[in-house]
Amino acid sequence: MRTLSAPLPGGTWTLGDLTVTRFGYGAMQLAGPWVMGPPADRDGALAVLREAAGLGITHIDTADAYGPRFTNQLIREALHPYPDSLHIVTKVGATRNHDGGWPPARRPDDLRRAVHENLENLGLETLDVVNLRLGDAQGPQPGSLAEAFETLVELQRQGLIRHLGVSNATAEQVAEAQATAPIVCVQNMYNLAHRQDDGLIDELAEQGIAYVPFFPLGGFSPLQSSALTAVASRLDATPMSVALAWLLQRSPNILLIPGTSSVAHLRENIAGAGLSLSDEDLAELDKIGR
């Protein structure tokens, strides 16, 4: 396997009893346009997954709703049988419709079916981590997660899930989940320009729980900021590299899962995340989104 000349930036973190690299890989972009259908370049998608594992990434984030099914099937084709060091984190709680929407699917039968479909398409007997996706496409929404989360706890007791987390959740829902069963991660939208979870990140860090930002580079619309551009120019780096490096330095419990369908871009992301930002850089960047 190919390896970088230095360890992956950020080192490692422990999800329960699973050690993962803080720099991971998000598989969402391996599906077709708008996360629907198969990839235009199937061989390229398989190559990215194999490169990620070959470079030492041990944390892959996915969902059976991506495609749907295509992304998990690609992961299985590229990497199965999985090495013991590789850990796949998936999510349930939403499905796809023909319009490309993400309607909720959090009834007990929906969740049981989703867990079994993830197991089948990934070729696993136990899922390492399952996040319960809450809210909607607009973001977290208030409301109890009790019935849905208790369903996943029961599947965990059956041995189908190793660890639990929540995604797209409010701080109140995180607390409600923790009152029911231990969680190892929270996966919410967060980046330089969207800082609504600053307090939650710090609370989770004190508890030893990972925070995994989705859309770390802004999502379908890349981050735009004069301050970000200025820091990147000073460091002779790309704005996206600086944004990833900032996340790793923001808190030790932040795990990165940037997605890409390009091997070259994957390597650029890893190298960029290894930038060392000075106190001056951090102070300038911290003004974004506040």
Catalytic site positions? 66
Mention every residue, 6+ apart, whose C-beta is less than 8 A from residue 7.
Answer: 56
CA nearest neighbour of 26 among 170, 139, 226, 189: 189
Q: How far apart are CA 193 and CA 185, in angstroms?
A: 22
What is the rounded CA–CA span in Å between residue 184 and residue 15? 5
Query: How many Å is the maximal CA-CA distance in the chain?
Result: 53
Single out the residue of 96, 92, 101 nearest to residue 127, CA to CA.
92
Q: Which residues of 151-181 are buried (b: 16+ CB within 10 A; e: fewer)?
A: bbbebbeeebbbbbbbbbbbbebbebbbeee
φ, ψ at 187 (rounded to 5°): -120, 105
Nearest to 231 by CA among 216, 245, 242: 242
CB atoms within 10 A of CB 218: 18
Q: How far apart are CA 200 and CA 46, in angstroms?
A: 35
**Amino acid in position 141:** Q
Residue 158 three-state SS: coil
Whether residue 167 contacts residue 89, with contact meaning beta carbons closer than 8 Å, is answered with no
